[in-house]
Homo-oligomer: A and B are copies of this chain.
């Protein structure tokens, strides 16, 4: 049985884990959480598979020993689709990943044409092919890479404006792939993208449903921790960050408003 003070560790390259954290709080309000942001490694989407796998596995290996979490969540689609199984092989605790919400999107679409937006690394993964084959049979799944949106979400949280041309470009590339068919469902295959929900809604219009995996992941974590006890009034939520603390101001403010302490260097 886990130590009641043992936290859940949420790991992301940056601010994307916030969407998973908010969903987790709904279903598991009492769990102490460590939010770990690998800002020194950002962005993941343009690295090689081996670089991402080594980085995530190495940092999580160190964090698992140092913080003794009861569970690790890789709150990043890029890292999860590449390295989830590899990280599970070397850690001794449960590891939950974040994978594109293709299954719920396939259940939701009426036009049968689904858009999927992710990083370069995510959209080319065999893991995504497998999800498509398993859950989107008979539907069209159109994938586009939008690496610029990761930085846009990071910048938005720092209070900077989002360039509408970035979002319009994603919409136009999807429309071009759709060849006249109408996309009515958009899979946000990166945990950063729900932070741009308003901008995406403005560009795609009110009839396109946005689907992300945060609620599903949160339910999965709650299920795995069912029956475990949590220290009351115990360990506070902590925020750890790779690279310079100064680069974490936007995320630090967002986490402070959720009851986290100041950023700590890792």
Interface residues on A, range: 20 to 34
Indicate whether A62 sits within 8 Å of B65 (C-beta atoms), given known contacts A54-B87, A83-B50: yes
Q: Does A55 contact B (CB under 8 A)?
A: yes
Q: Which of A36-66 contact B (CB under 8 A)?
A: 49-62, 64-66
- Residue pair B61, A57 in contact (C-beta under 8 Å): yes
Inter-chain CA distance A89–B65, complex, in Å, is 18
Return the contact of A54 from the options B53, B62, B64, B66 (Cβ within 8 A): B53
Q: Which of A65-114 contact B (CB under 8 A)?
A: 65-66, 82-83, 86-87, 89-91
Taking CB atoms, residues of chain B closer than 8 Å to A82 are 50
The smallest C-beta distance from A128 to any residue of chain B, in angstroms, reads 16
Inter-chain CA distance A184–B218, complex, in Å, is 62
Q: Which of A82, A86, A90 has the most CB of B within 10 A?
A: A90
Inter-chain CA distance A188–B54, complex, in Å, is 26
Taking CB atoms, residues of chain B closer than 8 Å to A65 are 61-62, 65-66
Indicate whether A86 sits within 8 Å of B49 (C-beta atoms), given known contacts A62-B65, A66-B65: no
Inter-chain CA distance A167–B141, complex, in Å, is 52
Inter-chain CA distance A59–B91, complex, in Å, is 8
- Residue pair B66, A86 in contact (C-beta under 8 Å): no
Return the contact of A90 from the options B62, B86, B91 (Cβ within 8 A): B62
Inter-chain CA distance A48–B213, complex, in Å, is 28
Inter-chain CA distance A173–B55, complex, in Å, is 37
The smallest C-beta distance from A2 to any residue of chain B, in angstroms, reads 18
Inter-chain CA distance A127–B51, complex, in Å, is 15
Inter-chain CA distance A65–B91, complex, in Å, is 13
Taking CB atoms, residues of chain B closer than 8 Å to A90 are 54-55, 58-59, 62
* Besides A53-B57, A62-B64, 10 other A-B contacts (C-beta < 8 A): A49-B49, A50-B53, A50-B82, A53-B53, A54-B54, A54-B56, A55-B57, A55-B86, A58-B61, A62-B62
Can you give 24 A-B contacts (C-beta < 8 A)? A49-B49, A49-B50, A50-B52, A50-B53, A53-B53, A53-B54, A54-B57, A54-B83, A54-B89, A54-B90, A55-B86, A55-B89, A57-B58, A57-B61, A58-B86, A58-B90, A58-B91, A59-B90, A61-B61, A61-B62, A61-B65, A62-B65, A62-B90, A62-B91
Ranked nearest first, the 9 interchain pairs of A and B with the lowest CB-CB distance are A61-B61, A58-B90, A57-B58, A54-B86, A65-B65, A53-B54, A54-B57, A58-B61, A61-B62
